């Protein structure tokens, strides 16, 4: 009966693989179809329409949208890491009154529903004069990335050996030197992981982008894809939408596959190790 | 791991050369200095906007002229609580959250157990499992919207060809079906996250218990229910509540996949509709504040159940 | 070297005082296929003549979402858009954000347009937008299919349902499984408000809220109308229609998969374009009556062009609006895209009538189109949403028309106490 178990197991694996990969595969297939071919359900188009991919960039400023997403995500990541690094040192390595409360607050902020800060944020963006400009997104996305960056970096910071710090103190190092010279080099992998997770969160962000940007030239990728319209006369441009989706997804998938282990350790650091 | 430190706030960290109080004072000062930029940033992007939203919740602010807002006490909140549409969205959100998280947990468990076993190609399967998580939510929603299209969608085509249904279903149109569609997308996107969390927990389980179970002749099913599951309870609860919090905040998937009808709207969608389609910032903020309170309650549960370690003791 | 160049540029600039700076204007007009193209062509033609540049801002397809976007943009006081295309029901909602265009449009120009629309666009004495094109709901049908199965164009909705069923049954027997009877805009958005208003008015059930502000939506005729259409869903009307906007309905009809369609006039030129499978096989007529005692009607649609108060180039923007709403441009748009002009004299133009014969014989429909209850002023959006949600619930099987309309009546009455909006 052992072979039945084996077959069942491999069947399960196959089902898992199909389940996770099918929509992505279907998006690729659809992106290569155009016109009436879209209305047929076939596993691979008879004549792959690579033109969809170039049409994506001419139908609307998709290249600009990708660029905007890159700028916003990068800026957010840099800011979060810089702020998070120093904050996590304080929270992880120094005992002081109010530390517990601060940690709880940081965790609490990461639970805020975006909609709960939307009206206040709208006012803030307007006051700063950055409505319909990228800085609006950079500022607002911090609420998404800063808390968990601080949280995860704190978790990693805690793991660093006490002895290093003690040696530095003995040598007369100020806390700043301890952070920048002793710990920073060791936090490399942790920063990479957190940076990656923050990048993905900022890249994905939708509600703020939907509310604070209007012009095509300022839009980021998620909003551009959600509002993709203006197709040619006849059909809703599903082929183009799928092509745009694939364009955006492939680099992310590649990124995630390369950094699998880091991502997994980052995701679990916050939750499981607590 | 760090040497256990004495709990009193003024304890020295083990250095013997410098007077403890000066060092501690310097370090405490440094700690606050280091924290200031972050605290300022969080006050700016989280604290202030939240406070403003609560202020608006007690006002009659309108988008056409936000400066003219007047304090109206609980009136805006009352309109929300008396609005049957609000309760519909609450019900929709909770149903979505419960069904989604249950499915994700079960599927995540199955996938984690599968990935825990050793087999050739395990790395590749794990990579495949990460793919849904890597795709931006909005993009996933559009991909699935296309698959769920009533005339040209592949899901209807497949179901029709195997005889599961006799005519194409309008997945994104009918309220009941569209909830299923939204759940399907969310489950597809988030199961990898659950699976990975559970996998990490599984891999931390001590091996000797399994050895003992094997010696006792326990079959794999018994082992799972009587050994694995009890040990996983802790991390599982943490993961479930964490996901519930996320699910209650949902907005993107519903927006992209379904229409503007209140039958298929989550709580966040209701708030946005009031604020930006009806220009009623006051009422919209009141509903957003309510959502915040609900999430805050759940967060407290999360922290108690998860017994989140804050002190840093190993 | 740089300093020399800078100096040269300064000298040239000073020496040519007559050279006006080329400004950039941004216009937000339709994003749906043909309309976007026509807008772009018109705007660019003006830009070339005037020596400036015009950029198009894309907007969501759904009018309700467009409104939300514009509300945010204008509430933020953004100068990122100069000219905005606004729906016929928005002037009451957005009046404070627009420039009074009366100084730029002398009476002899304004009187060329349909008075009711100009009046619609005037809020508290301020002319906030110029009519650009007008719209009314129409019934499209497949002449070939009706002829093949011996059906006549329907004069009542009941006849339409019977004809559709007859054609469907016959065609399904012959193996055509994709065909459906009737498609319209059934998604819960502004388009459904338009469709449902037509249903109710065609049964002589009033207009949701009447001219004096009284809520009239809950009456026996209205209930009859909504019940009738709810009964069609699932047989001659496919359930998927509950997610259709204009383009989805048009796609189904133009692909040859629907016998009847309710849509705006713009679909005419597209249905007859050279790569349309149904070119030459469609006809258009006024919407049917709600039974022998009903009336033929169509919801008044149409869009106007306004200038944002926050624009940095108010005068130039007004010029752009003048060009786009001129007789010449309106005629071009009518011939190429079936966009109904708002200039009365064009309805006698031979070229226009050749391309769109229905603009001649359906003239009365356009002139007498039933307007949506904008008497509700700033609350219009909410009124429309509550109304269409109750219709949507009924169509999707959640509750009977009588109950849903009663509920919405209570709600609307609480919004507009004693007819005061």
Tell me, what DSSP letter sits at residue C98?
B
Interface test with C, best of B68, B138, B170 (most C CBs within 10 A): B170
Chains that contact B by 3+ CB pairs under 8 Å? A, C
Tell which residue, B137, B138, B123, has the closest CA to residue A261. Answer: B123
Position with higher pLDDT, C285 vs B69 = C285
The tokens describing A182, both together, are 């002793």
pLDDT bin (cut points 50, 70, 90) of residue B8 is very low
Question: Looking at residue C274, what DSSP letter applies?
Answer: T
Is B277 within 8 Å of C385 when comparing Cβ atoms? yes
| Partner-chain contact A174 B134, CB within 8 Å | no
Provide CB contacts within 8 A for C364, sequence distance 6+.
Answer: none
Of the pLDDT bands very low, low, confident and very high (cuts 50, 70, 90), residue B2 is: very low
Q: What percent of chain B has pLDDT over 70?
A: 90
Q: How far apart are CA A53 and CA A244, in angstroms?
A: 7
- Cα–Cα dist C113/C205, whole Å: 30
Q: Mutation test of the interface with chain A: which of C64, C75, C80, C244, choosing the one with the most A Cβ atoms within 10 A?
A: C80
Tokens describing residue A171:
């040598």
In angstroms, the separation between the Cα of residue A225 and the nearest Cα of chain B is: 7
d(CA A223, CA C297): 38
With respect to residue A177, please indicate whether it lies within any of the assigned structural domains: yes
CB B56 within 8 A of CB B287: no
Find, among C9, C370, C325, the residue nearest to C203 by Cα. C370
Radius of gyration of chain C (CA): 23
d(CA A265, nearest CA chain B) in Å: 9
Q: How far apart are CA A127 and CA C334, in angstroms?
A: 44
Where residue B98 falls among pLDDT bands split at 50, 70, 90? very high
* Best mutation target, B13, B40, B45, to test chain A (most A CBs within 10 A): B45
Least confident of B4-8, B59-63, B102-106, C66-70: B4-8
Residue C2 has what pLDDT? 61
Q: Which of B256, B149, B262, B255 is nearest to C240 (CA)?
A: B149
Residue C299's DSSP bridge partners are C370
Q: Taking an 8 Å Cβ-Cβ cutoff, which residues of chain C contact chain A?
A: 26, 31-34, 36, 57-58, 60-61, 69, 72-73, 75-78, 80-81, 247-248, 251, 254-255, 270, 273, 275-276
Residue B28 has pLDDT above 50, yes or no: yes
Residue A197, SS3? helix
Residue B60 reports pLDDT greater than 50: yes
The verdict on residue A23 lying in a domain is no
Number of domains in chain A: 1
- Neighbours of C (≥3 Cβ pairs closer than 8 A)? A, B
Token pair belonging to C53:
């540049």
Contact residues on chain A for B295, CB-CB shorter than 8 A: 111-113, 116
Q: How many CB atoms lie within 10 A of CB C163?
A: 24
| Residue C402 pLDDT | 94
Q: Alpha helix locations (H) across C26-181?
A: 33-50, 63-75, 91-94, 107-110, 115-120, 143-148, 157-173
| B172-184 average pLDDT score | 86
Of A200, A168, A194, A196, which is closest to residue A87 (Cα–Cα)? A194
Helix or strand run (H / E) with residue C262: strand C258-263
Closest CA of chain B from A256, distance in Å: 6
pTM of the model: 0.81
Strands C300-307 and C83-87: antiparallel
Q: Are C105 and C111 in contact, with CB atoms under 8 Å apart? A: no
* Average per-residue pLDDT for chain B: 82
What is the least distance, in Å, from the CA of A64 to any CA of chain B? 18
Which of the other chains make 3 or more beta carbon contacts under 8 angstroms with chain A? B, C
- pLDDT at residue A81 in the model: 93
Nearest to C69 by CA among C47, C51, C88, C86: C86
Residue A124 CA, distance from chain mean position: 24
- Looking at residue C12, its pLDDT comes to 58
CA angle B235–B239–B243, rounded 5-degree value: 170
Number of other CB atoms surrounding residue C232 within 10 Å:
19
Residue C342 neighbours by CB under 8 Å, 6+ apart = C113, C114, C117, C131, C132, C133, C134, C302, C325, C330
User: CA of A203: which chain B residue's CA is closest?
Assistant: B136
The C-alpha atoms of residue C95 and residue C256 are separated, in whole angstroms, by 42
> B168 phi and psi, to 5 degrees?
-60, 140
DSSP B66-111: GGG--B-TTHHHHHHHH-HHHHHHHHHHHHHHHHHHHHHHHHHHHH
Helix or strand holding residue B52 (H, E): helix B48-57
Average pLDDT, whole number, for chain A? 83
Beta carbons of C163 and C151 less than 8 angstroms apart: yes
Q: Which pLDDT belongs to residue A50?
A: 84
- Please compute the mean of the pLDDT values over residues A101-111 and round it to a whole number: 85
Task: Decide the pairing of beta strands C258-263 and C180-183.
Answer: parallel
* The domain defined by B58-313 carries CATH number 3.40.50.1970: no
**Domain C22-135+301-367, what fold?**
D-Maltodextrin-Binding Protein; domain 2 (3.40.190)
| Domain boundaries, given as residue ranges, for chain C | 22-135+301-367
- Classified as helix, coil or strand, C27 is strand
Percent of chain A topping pLDDT 90: 19
Q: C178 by DSSP, 3-state: which?
A: coil
Beta bridge partners of C156: C289
Record the tokens describing residue C380, joined without a space.
């219009």
List B71's β-bridge partners, or say none: B59
Burial C274-310, CB ≥16 within 10 A → b, else e: eebebeebbebbbbbbbbeebbbbbbbbbbbbbbbeb
| Dihedral sign, Cα of residue C406, residue C410, residue C415, residue C420 | positive
Give the domain extent around A100. 67-217
The mean pLDDT of B148-176, rounded to a whole number, is 81
Closest CB to C58: pick one of A60, A131, A132. Answer: A60
pLDDT at B312: 35
pLDDT at position B5 is: 45
Residue with tokens 């805050």: B296
Residue C130 parent element (H or E): strand C130-136
| CATH code of the domain containing A169 | 1.10.3720.10
Distance from CA of A45 to the nearest CA of C (A): 20
Note the pLDDT of residue C3: 63
Q: Pairing mode, if any, of strands C126-127 and C122-123?
A: antiparallel
Minimal Cα distance from A228: which residue of C? C60
CA atoms of C379 and C395, how far apart (whole Å): 24
**Is pLDDT of B11 > 50?**
no
pLDDT for B4 beyond 50:
no
- State the pLDDT at residue B271: 93
Q: For residue B271, give both structure tokens.
A: 């708030």
SS3 of chain C: helix, strand, coil, percent, to 5: 50, 15, 35
The yes-or-no verdict on residue A131 having pLDDT over 50 is yes
Helix (H, G, I), strand (E, B) or coil at C86: strand
> CB contact, 8 Å: A132 with chain C?
yes
d(CA C298, CA C207): 12
Nearest of C412, C418, C145, C390 to residue C281 by alpha carbon: C145
Among C185, C243, C407, which would you mutate to test the B interface (most chain B Cβ atoms within 10 Å of its Cβ)?
A: C243
Mean pLDDT on B137-146: 87
CA distance linking residue C162 with residue C314, whole number of Å = 55
Q: Name C308's bridge partners.
A: C98
pLDDT of A86? 87
Contact present, C210 and C409 (Cβ < 8 Å): no
Q: What is the DSSP letter of B275?
A: I
Low-confidence ranges of chain C (pLDDT < 70): 1-20
Chain C CB contacts of A126 below 8 Å = 75-77
pLDDT at B264 over 80: yes
pLDDT tens digit sequence for A1-46: 678 888 888 898 899 999 989 998 888 888 888 766 676 777 887 7
pLDDT value at residue A247: 87
CB contact under 8 A, A216 and C58: yes
pLDDT of residue B79 exceeding 90: no
Task: Parse chain B into domains and list their residue ranges.
Answer: 58-313
Partners of residue B52 in chain A, C-beta under 8 Å: 119-120, 123-124
Flag whether pLDDT at A271 surpasses 70.
no
pLDDT tens, position by position, A164-180: 888 887 887 777 787 78
Indicate the range of A223-237, B127-141, C230-244 predicted with least confidence.
A223-237
Can you give A142-163 as a three-state secondary structure string?
Answer: HHHHHHHHHHHHHHHHHHCCHH
HSE-up (13 A, CA, CB side) for residue C49: 11
């Amino acid at each position: 009966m052992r072979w039945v178990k084996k077959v069942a197991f491999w069947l399960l694996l196959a089902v898992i693989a199909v389940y996770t990969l099918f929509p992505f595969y279907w998006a690729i297939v659809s992106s290569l179809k155009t016109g009436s071919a879209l209305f047929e359900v076939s596993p691979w188009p008879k004549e792959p329409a690579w033109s969809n991919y170039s049409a994506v960039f001419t139908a609307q400023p998709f290249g600009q949208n990708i660029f905007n997403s890159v700028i916003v995500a990068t800026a957010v990541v840099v800011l979060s890491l810089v702020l998070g690094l120093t904050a996590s040192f304080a929270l992880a390595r120094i005992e002081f009154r109010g530390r517990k409360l601060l940690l709880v607050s940081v965790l609490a902020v990461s639970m805020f529903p975006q909609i709960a800060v939307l009206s206040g944020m709208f006012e803030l963006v307007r006051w700063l004069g950055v409505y319909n400009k990228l800085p609006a997104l950079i500022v607002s996305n911090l609420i998404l990335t800063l808390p968990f960056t601080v949280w995860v970096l704190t978790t990693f910071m805690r793991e660093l050996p006490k002895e290093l710090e003690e040696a530095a103190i003995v040598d007369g190092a100020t806390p700043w030197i301890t952070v920048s010279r002793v710990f920073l080099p060791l936090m490399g992998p942790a920063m990479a992981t957190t940076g990656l997770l923050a990048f993905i969160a900022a890249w994905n962000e939708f509600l703020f982008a939907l509310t604070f940007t209007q012009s095509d030239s300022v839009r980021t990728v998620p909003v551009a894809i959600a509002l993709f319209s203006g197709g040619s006369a006849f059909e809703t441009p599903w082929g183009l939408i799928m092509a745009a989706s694939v364009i955006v997804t492939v680099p992310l998938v590649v990124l995630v596959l390369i950094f699998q282990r880091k991502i997994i350790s980052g995701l679990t650091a916050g939750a499981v190790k607590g | 791991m760090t040497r256990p430190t004495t709990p009193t706030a003024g304890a020295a960290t083990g250095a013997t050369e410098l007077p403890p109080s000066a060092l501690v004072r310097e370090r405490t000062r440094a700690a606050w200095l280091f924290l200031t930029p972050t605290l300022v940033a969080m006050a700016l992007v989280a604290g202030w906007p939240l406070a403003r939203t609560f202020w608006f919740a007690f006002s009659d602010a309108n988008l056409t002229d936000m400066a003219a807002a007047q304090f109206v006490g609980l009136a805006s909140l009352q309109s929300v609580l008396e609005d049957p549409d609000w309760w519909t969205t609450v019900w929709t959100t909770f149903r979505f959250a419960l069904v989604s998280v249950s499915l994700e947990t079960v599927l995540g468990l199955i996938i984690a157990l599968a990935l825990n076993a050793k087999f050739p190609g395990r790395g590749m399967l794990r990579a495949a499992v990460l793919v849904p998580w890597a795709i931006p939510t909005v993009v996933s929603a559009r991909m699935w919207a296309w698959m769920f299209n009533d005339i040209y969608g592949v899901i209807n085509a497949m179901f029709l060809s195997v005889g599961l249904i006799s005519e194409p279903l309008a997945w994104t149109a009918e309220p009941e079906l569209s909830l299923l569609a939204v759940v399907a997308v969310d489950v597809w996107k988030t199961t990898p996250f659950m699976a990975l969390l559970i996998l990490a927990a599984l891999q931390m389980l001590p091996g000797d218990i399994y050895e003992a179970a094997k010696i006792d002749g326990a079959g794999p099913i018994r082992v799972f229910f009587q050994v694995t599951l009890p040990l996983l309870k802790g991390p599982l609860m943490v993961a479930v509540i964490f996901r519930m919090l996320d699910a209650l905040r949902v907005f993107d998937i519903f927006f992209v996949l379904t229409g503007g009808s209140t039958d298929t709207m989550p709580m966040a969608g209701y708030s946005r509709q009031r604020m930006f389609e009806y220009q009623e910032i006051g009422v919209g903020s009141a509903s957003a504040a309510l959502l915040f309170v609900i999430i805050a309650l759940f967060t407290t549960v999360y922290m108690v159940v998860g017994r989140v370690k804050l002190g840093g003791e190993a | 070297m740089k300093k020399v160049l800078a100096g040269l540029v300064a000298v040239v600039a000073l020496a040519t005082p007559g050279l006006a700076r080329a400004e950039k204007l941004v216009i937000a007009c339709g994003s749906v296929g043909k309309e976007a193209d026509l807008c772009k062509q018109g705007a660019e033609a003006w830009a070339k003549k005037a020596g400036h540049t015009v950029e198009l801002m894309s907007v969501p397809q759904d009018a309700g979402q467009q409104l939300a976007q514009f509300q945010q943009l204008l509430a933020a006081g953004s100068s990122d858009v100069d000219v905005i295309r606004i729906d016929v029901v928005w002037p009451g909602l957005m009046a404070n954000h627009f420039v009074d265009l009366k100084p730029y449009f002398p009476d002899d120009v304004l009187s060329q347009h349909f008075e009711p629309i100009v009046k619609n666009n005037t809020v508290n004495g301020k002319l906030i937008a110029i009519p650009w094109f007008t719209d009314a709901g129409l019934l499209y049908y497949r002449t070939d299919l009706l002829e093949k199965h011996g059906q006549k164009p329907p004069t009542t909705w009941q006849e339409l349902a019977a004809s559709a069923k007859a054609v469907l049954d016959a065609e399904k027997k012959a193996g055509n499984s994709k065909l459906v009877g009737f498609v319209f805009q059934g998604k819960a958005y502004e388009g459904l408000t338009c469709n449902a208003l037509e249903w109710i008015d065609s049964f002589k059930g009033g207009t949701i809220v009447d001219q004096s502000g009284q809520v009239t939506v809950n009456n026996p005729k209205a209930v009859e109308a909504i019940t009738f259409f709810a009964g069609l869903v699932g047989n001659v009307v496919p359930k998927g229609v509950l997610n259709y906007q204009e383009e989805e309905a048009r796609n189904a009809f133009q692909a040859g998969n629907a016998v009847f369609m309710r849509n705006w006039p713009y679909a005419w030129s597209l249905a007859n374009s050279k790569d349309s499978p149904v070119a030459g096989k469609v006809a258009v007529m006024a919407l049917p009556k709600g039974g022998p005692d009903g009336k033929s009607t169509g919801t008044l649609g149409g869009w106007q062009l306004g200038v944002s108060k926050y624009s940095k180039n108010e005068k130039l923007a007004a010029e752009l609006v003048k060009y786009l709403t001129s007789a010449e441009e309106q005629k071009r748009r009518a011939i190429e895209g079936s966009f109904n002009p708002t200039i009365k004299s064009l309805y006698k133009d031979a070229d226009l009538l050749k391309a769109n014969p229905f603009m001649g014989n359906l003239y009365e429909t356009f002139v007498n189109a039933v307007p949506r209850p904008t008497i509700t002023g700033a609350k219009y959006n909410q009124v429309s949403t509550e109304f269409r949600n109750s219709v949507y619930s009924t169509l999707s099987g959640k509750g009977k028309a009588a109950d849903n309309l009663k509920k919405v009546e209570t709600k609307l009455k609480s919004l507009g106490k004693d007819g005061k909006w």
